[in-house]
Structure 1
Amino acid sequence: MLDDPHRVARLRRLAENVRAIRDGVDRVETVADSPDGRIRARVGGRGDLIGLEVDDRVFRQPDSARLAAEIAATVRTAQQAADREIARICTETFPSH
């Protein structure tokens, strides 16, 4: 099975492409701001929250439920941007024929 040099070469290229995608995902970092600009979320390529900034203005009219909803929505927006970036990386690595 692995004595076919063409198969071995294809497997090596596949492994290199998979590593390229993994490395690309590791480099992805996206940022999203809430519509009112009070919240900024940074996520990595795996959807993990890297950073969260909350403007002091949110404490002038405290509403914990609203704040939680806005944070969650902003994080989701950043995660969706990361997903689009990963899709771009995959498409560049494995273009359709």
Structure 2
Amino acid sequence: MGSEDRPDVAAMRAYADELRDTFNRLQDEGSELHARAKAVQVTETSRDGLVTVTVGARGDLVRLDLDPRIYRRPDARHLADTIAETTRRAAARAQERITEIFEPVIPPEQFRAHLDGDLETVLAMLADQMEGNR
């Protein structure tokens, strides 16, 4: 059996072909995907309806609207917690949308690991792919 017929070499070649195809698709579609992702904005309203936040693609606060009824219950800690929790939910939804946008070229679980900064998981996924596991 020649070295090119070995399963590990075949798997590496298949993975290299897949990487090349993904790279080519990223080159072709990357600018459009990036523009779509960059334009993402998500608006979320608190459970009590008094706080509405809009975040950008990175979860950054773009807009904050407070219903005047917040002054009926002057509890600064509760208001701060409500703003933070509503912003976290909006940021999570923005991250989901970004993941969906890039799904045609990057597997969602791998993209989520990248977004989360989970290098260990990213490297484990890459190692699995190089070994022919999916």
Bucket of the pairwise TM-score, normalised by the shorter protein? 0.7 to 0.9
**1:44-90 per-position Cα deviation (integer Å, ceiling 9, x unaligned):** 11211110100001111101011000000000010000000001001
- Taking the TM superposition and a 5 Å limit, the aligned residue runs for 1:1-97 are 13-94=25-106
Gaps of 5+ in 2: 1-20, 109-133
TM-score, normalized by length of structure 1? 0.78
Percent of paired sites with the same residue: 33
Larger % of helix: which?
A: 2
- Worse overlay, 40-49 or 85-94: 85-94
**Matched residue type, 2:89:** T
Q: Using CA pairs under 8 Å that are at least 6 residues apart, name the structure with larger relative contact order, 1 or 2.
A: 1
Q: Which blocks of at least 5 consecutive residues in structure 1 are unaligned?
A: 1-8
How many equivalent residue pairs? 90
What RMSD, in angstroms, separates the aligned Cα atoms of the two structures? Answer: 2.4
- Do the aligned partners of 1:41 and 1:78 also contact (CA within 8 Å) in 2? yes
Structure (1 or 2) with the greater strand fraction: 1
| 1:27 Cα offset (Å) | 1.3
Which one has the largest radius of gyration? 2
CA distance in 2, matches of 1:68, 1:59: 13
Q: Give the alignment's TM-score, normalised by structure 2.
A: 0.58
